[in-house]
Amino acid sequence: MPIDLALVLDLLGCSFFAVSGSLLAVRKGFDLVGSVLLGSLVGLGGGVLRDLILNAGPPAAFSNPIYLAAPLLAAAVVYLLAGRVERVSRLVLPFDAGGLALFCITGTLKALDAGMNPAAAILLGVTTAVGGGILRDVTANRVPHVFDPKDLYAIPALLGAAMAAGLWYLGWLNLVTGSIAAAMVFSLRMLTLRFHWHAPLAARSWAIPRFRRG
């Protein structure tokens, strides 16, 4: 996969996540500056975490100023259009799903390109995909969505990361297959939301407390 393609997918993922952050900023009653900051945290946070762990020079978001365009544009678009949207809250998750689908692919590929073993690369792909959203929710002072037991969030990212690693090892990775993998993760995530698929609870006990976002 040429580096430019990885950059395009990564920037696209940043933009999706940044929009989800700016939409959450609207829902929480933040101002425009907070919208840019929350968009940056979720759009750039997962990638910065990934690059810190890869430990190969400063994170891409800092060495390449083009990354800053994503949260700035996202905050501007949300500012201009959010008033016309009936329920802003409903759009957070679809944009979040787009970011998740792209970041689990690009995170895994960047780790494989850096020479990590496949298990670590898949783990880093999931961390990249899930990390930004965890930072966003922790900062907005609520339990991260990834822990909601009425939803599957990390499983699509895990499947996407495994698919990306598989395509990479088979040498089949290119723009078409990479985009198909991302589209499959996105579709799976949206189906999960639509049909409320979920995993078993963390214990078989009959006395498990009810989950609250807090």
Restricting to residues 33-52, name those near a copy of itself by CB under 8 A.
33-35, 37-38, 48, 52
Decide if 108 contacts 165 (C-beta within 8 A). yes
Residue 98, helix vs strand vs coil: helix
| HSE-up (13 A, CA, CB side) for residue 63 | 10
Pick the binder of a copy of itself from 57, 176, 194, 196 (CB under 8 A): 57
Residue 200 interacting with a copy of itself (CB under 8 A):
yes
Q: How many residues bind a copy of itself (CB under 8 A)?
A: 73
Residue 81 vs 175, nearer CB to a copy of itself: 81
Q: What are the C-alpha distances in Å from 174 to residues 17, 114, 115, 160, 177?
A: 23, 18, 19, 15, 5
Q: How far apart are CA 188 and CA 211, in angstroms?
A: 23
Q: How far apart are CA 177 and CA 167, in angstroms?
A: 8
Compute the least distance from the CB of residue 179 to a copy of itself, in Å.
26
Q: Residue 178 Cβ, how far from a copy of itself at the closest point, in Å?
A: 22
Q: Which parts of 103-132 interact with a copy of itself (CB under 8 A)?
A: 116-117, 119-120, 123-124, 130
Q: Which of 3, 4, 141, 170 binds a copy of itself (CB under 8 A)?
A: 141
Residue range at the interface with a copy of itself (CB under 8 A); choices 2-10, 26-34, 94-102, 180-188: 26-34
> Does 197 sit near a copy of itself (CB under 8 A)?
no
Classify residue 8 by burial, with Cβ atoms within 10 Å: 0-12, 13-18, 19+: middle
